[in-house]
Structure 1
Amino acid sequence: MNIEGNTVTVNKAANEVFDFFTKLENYQQLMPENTEKFEVDGESFIFGLKGMPEIRLVLKDKTEFTNVTLGAASSKLPFTLASDIKEIAADQCEVSLKFAGDFNPMMAMMVKKPLTKFIDTLTENIAKL
């Protein structure tokens, strides 16, 4: 299952946005208002939204100034969340989020709508940076 968020323009240099995404504590600023838990632990963070199970994300990969990829810490529900950064000017870049998960059809049907809403919220909050 793949979900692509909208591409948003951020009035910051690509390297600033890349640095923001590589510091896991910064993701708390992007979380929805209904976040009940957010804790950073080394190269991972755990968050919980009201009425949802807690999820631990691990920093999986990063390509300087263009991509930061987080992945699920658990192999039970394997997925990644990639932040693609594209410089469009010295002090402006475009950011898009891409979610890729390997779920069975029933699970995909259950999580698609809330995940899409979550990705949209993250994207909206990135635009406010």
Structure 2
Amino acid sequence: MTIFESKTTLSKSVAEVYQFLEDLNNHQLLMPENIYNWSSTRDEARFTIQNMAKLALKVEERIVNERITITPAEEAPIVLNLVWSLSEIDHQTQATLTISAELNMMMKMLASGPLQKLADFQTQALQNKLG
């Protein structure tokens, strides 16, 4: 597995950040412009990545105020999962997005940059949204 990680610190409580992230409807607000055809429920999201692929993701696990694990809801072009981990540090919330992907050497060369950019974009978007 190849790991991509990005962190941000928010002035909101862990409970507030968790409440936002546990609902996949809110994740559209964290996506870059090359994501379109978005449809979602609280537990599942479907979208298209421009010039790449269609993806369907679902919440696999929720641990209240600690972690949300998101995995493919159906067969995906690459095996991956996304984990949002939350912890309280000095009355603030540290949110960490970890993307784990099974990538062969060719896919690693092609997908590593975009996956790290996605992780960084999402944590920055979360910072902009919730501060």
TM-score strictly above 0.5: yes
CA distance in structure 1 between the aligned counterparts of 2:18 and 2:47, rounded to whole angstroms: 21
Consecutive aligned runs of 4 or more in structure 1 exceeding 3 Å deviation: none
Aligned to 1:94: 94
Q: Deviations over 1:59-91 (max 9, x none)?
A: 01111101111012234522110001111244x
Aligned to 2:50: 50
TM-score scaled by structure 1? Answer: 0.89
Residue 11 (structure 2) pairs with residue 11 (structure 1): yes
Q: Which amino acid aligns with 1:96?
A: T
Sequence identity percentage: 27
Q: Aligned with 1:52: secondary structure?
A: coil
CA distance in structure 1 between the aligned counterparts of 2:36 and 2:105, rounded to whole angstroms: 29
TM-score scaled by structure 2? Answer: 0.87
Q: What are structure 2's unaligned runs of at least 5 residues?
A: none
Measured on the aligned residues, the alpha-carbon RMSD in Å equals: 1.6
* Kept in 2: contact 1:87–1:93 (CA 8 A): yes
Which piece of structure 1 moves more, 26-35 or 74-83? Answer: 74-83
Q: What are structure 1's unaligned runs of at least 5 residues?
A: none
CA distance in structure 1 between the aligned counterparts of 2:124 and 2:42, rounded to whole angstroms: 26
* Kept in 2: contact 1:8–1:95 (CA 8 A): yes
Which piece of structure 1 moves more, 62-71 or 46-55? Answer: 46-55
* Kept in 1: contact 2:23–2:43 (CA 8 A): no
CA distance in structure 1 between the aligned counterparts of 2:124 and 2:51, rounded to whole angstroms: 22
CA distance in structure 1 between the aligned counterparts of 2:67 and 2:101, rounded to whole angstroms: 18
Aligned to 2:3: 2
CA distance in structure 2 between the aligned counterparts of 1:28 and 1:103, rounded to whole angstroms: 25
Aligned to 1:83: 84
